[in-house]
Structure 1
């Protein structure tokens, strides 16, 4: 019986080999790499449009801040519509002139300094948007390739379960096993098919989510990249002073400091100079009129506004220290998570996976030859499935932690000195 079964298996293998040789070659599906996905997302993502619009708005605000106050035309008529000699327009005095506000206390320079600080903050926000988009696309890519790997494992399990069912039927027909083994193998096959259906659905959702981010359909993903576990460098001990997080906190502090300067400049009252020409109706003469207007800071001297700006600057300073502390803690924690995930991934994809695969292979052969029971085979297959799943989970955790670490340690762009 053993010889007959071996001959059947060998004949099936030969037939499959001949069929594979005569079948026309199938073109491999193009693989979408992570670099290509990041490039596509950077070119078409609406998140980039939001960041660039913020920069343009800040630059437009700077142009507004540099503008001077508009002059005013002053026109008035006196001594009209009265009684006696002032009846009608006989004694009217018409004045027509121009009033020009003069800003004092450096208000214009303070507005421009605040606008410059806001432009710097908008540039940091744009860099943060790019880094966040990179993290988002990378995480979606990791989820997608992990889902495809899980679907492939589930598909392999369906084939293995079908093979186990065929072997169980042969054993039952030969009278070497109880019909219970065939029923148990059929249950395992149904469970494997259900797992495959769920895995395919998850892979389709992951691919759709990635396609939304990059603006193109997603097919096969780079499995070789997913398998790589690079050695991490030394722990990030230089602090977070050069990262985007620190740059954003500094930009917020610079903006708050500029707000203090602007509030202090508002305490200095402005002048309004006016020059007019007055026409006297009775004598038909013209005279010049000059004036100066100075507001009296009696009820609102601007001290409260300065106090508010000072408090907000102190708050920004404290928030900067908090942001740096949180960033350093997050960097250390994420780097440890990446290192631990790398260790787990190496173990799961290395000797542990090879041992589980070899044990399952031996159990299949032994079960077909009657040397092992079905429970031994199912246990070996379950161990292989758990090991392969753990390897995928470990690789996904490693790449996710690596992406988050790159986001936390992303360097801030160098500020450009430009003449505005």
Structure 2
């Protein structure tokens, strides 16, 4: 009997493999059972719609937008020049003798203006521009991360729905198998043990169905939290089932222009501008002053001019320049390290996506069709008394495992592909480029 079942499996597999080799697209949903669950009825909620809604309510995008506005405001602040100061002095008052009262008052009003030297203003602007570019890149990173999170949550919810469909079908089959076993027992063609064994399989199938229903609720709730509203209707099963028939060779690895490299380059640009700013701070600034002094006794007025130059005796800016130089060296080293990490991550993501696509195409195509055909033949043969119950249970377990493997492969493919898109996303053009 086992040899007969194995022969049927082999013949069915050969036929489905030959059929699959004549068609290029992978139809992963053709052999999937249909669900009658009310929660999965209605128009499909697509992944594009999920991405659109998530972009509207995402706190990460809102924070990134606020960071850009803050950086732009910082750029305006950096371009401002120092404010002048007005000083009013009163001398020779409230004394004794001829200086009693205000009869000998000397009032001086002066205006002082700091003069920045060493290119401090342009250095501040360079730092602010670099930070604005970094905020722009970070906003794009937030968008890419949000897209990855939405696709991952959507794929997990879609896989949970697909598992629920499979669990419904397995529960239906288990109930039919139980009824067939009871008929065989009542007819005296089988031992009561077969009915008990079929009942155990039914109980386990019902329990698995309950677990999958909870998993769908959790997955849909997680996705709804990301998009900011409840999900009505089923998810797009066509999107979840779509994988390339042939993935092809790995593409050349080039991290140049990716978001991660752009962020590392922006960090280095900030550190480099910080060195320029620290170097400019070593040049002392001048303070020019001009004013007028009024003499109470003669009612005369005289002009006053002043020039103030700080003496860099205790803080000459050397320590700050050393700190900024070390930070630039660190940023440059991290930039080179990021290039290595990104190249390796892209290579791994490409391999993961290719392997998942291959597994999904195999598990969802010929393997799944062969397992379904074998299970169908085993059910017919069991009802007719040609196959034993163990043969039937073995075929059903093979079918359930193949379906689960197909769903897992599809989920792995979509997550790996989304991760690859996240790693290879291109950086926006910034002011510094």
Q: Which residue of 1 aligns with 2:215?
A: 202
Deviation at 1:364, TM superposition (A): 0.4
Deviation at 1:293, TM superposition (A): 0.8
1:227 partnered with 2:241: yes
Is the CA contact 1:236–1:331 (under 8 Å) kept in the aligned structure 2? no
After TM superposition, the runs of 4+ consecutive aligned structure 1 residues lying more than 3 A away are 231-234
Distance 1:241 1:175, change over 3 A: same
Q: Which residue of 2 aligns with 1:236?
A: 251
1:81 partnered with 2:81: no
Is the CA contact 1:145–1:226 (under 8 Å) kept in the aligned structure 2? yes
In structure 2, C-alpha distance between the alignment counterparts of 1:295 and 1:86, rounded to whole Å: 34
**TM-score, L = length of structure 1:** 0.91
Q: Which residue of 1 aligns with 2:309?
A: 294
1:170 partnered with 2:183: yes
Q: Which residue of 2 aligns with 1:22?
A: none
Distance 1:182 1:238, change over 3 A: closer
Q: Identify unmatched segments of 5+ residues in structure 2.
A: 1-39
SS in 2 for 1:216: coil
1:242-274: per-residue Cα shift (whole Å, max 9, x none)? 100110011001111111111111111111111
1:276 partnered with 2:276: no
1:368-419: per-residue Cα shift (whole Å, max 9, x none)? 011111111111101100010011001101111011000000011123589x
Deviation at 1:58, TM superposition (A): 0.3
In structure 2, C-alpha distance between the alignment counterparts of 1:105 and 1:253, rounded to whole Å: 22
Q: Which residue of 2 aligns with 1:156?
A: 169
SS in 2 for 1:276: strand
In structure 1, C-alpha distance between the alignment counterparts of 2:392 and 2:241, rounded to whole Å: 28
In structure 1, C-alpha distance between the alignment counterparts of 2:105 and 2:45, rounded to whole Å: 85
In structure 1, C-alpha distance between the alignment counterparts of 2:163 and 2:399, rounded to whole Å: 13
Q: Which residue of 1 aligns with 2:78?
A: 65
1:254 partnered with 2:269: yes
1:139 partnered with 2:152: yes
Deviation at 1:44, TM superposition (A): 2.4
In structure 2, C-alpha distance between the alignment counterparts of 1:417 and 1:401, rounded to whole Å: 33
Q: Which residue of 1 aligns with 2:404?
A: 389
Instruction: Between the two structures, name the one with larger relative contact order (CA 8 Å, sep ≥ 6).
Output: 2
Is the CA contact 1:145–1:223 (under 8 Å) kept in the aligned structure 2? yes
1:56 partnered with 2:69: yes
In structure 1, C-alpha distance between the alignment counterparts of 2:168 and 2:311, rounded to whole Å: 83
Q: Which residue of 2 aligns with 1:341?
A: 356
In structure 1, C-alpha distance between the alignment counterparts of 2:331 and 2:250, rounded to whole Å: 29
Deviation at 1:39, TM superposition (A): 1.6
Give the 5 Å matches for 1:344-355.
344-355=359-370
Is the CA contact 1:279–1:285 (under 8 Å) kept in the aligned structure 2? yes
In structure 1, C-alpha distance between the alignment counterparts of 2:83 and 2:249, rounded to whole Å: 60
The more displaced of 52-61 and 341-350 is 341-350
Q: Which residue of 2 aligns with 1:415?
A: 430
In structure 2, C-alpha distance between the alignment counterparts of 1:238 and 1:137, rounded to whole Å: 26
1:95 maps to which of 108, 122, 134:
108
SS in 2 for 1:97: strand
In structure 1, C-alpha distance between the alignment counterparts of 2:100 and 2:252, rounded to whole Å: 89
Q: Identify unmatched segments of 5+ residues in structure 1.
A: 1-26
SS in 1 for 2:80: coil
Is the CA contact 2:167–2:209 (under 8 Å) kept in the aligned structure 1? yes
Deviation at 1:183, TM superposition (A): 1.0
Q: Which residue of 1 aligns with 2:225?
A: 212
SS in 2 for 1:73: strand
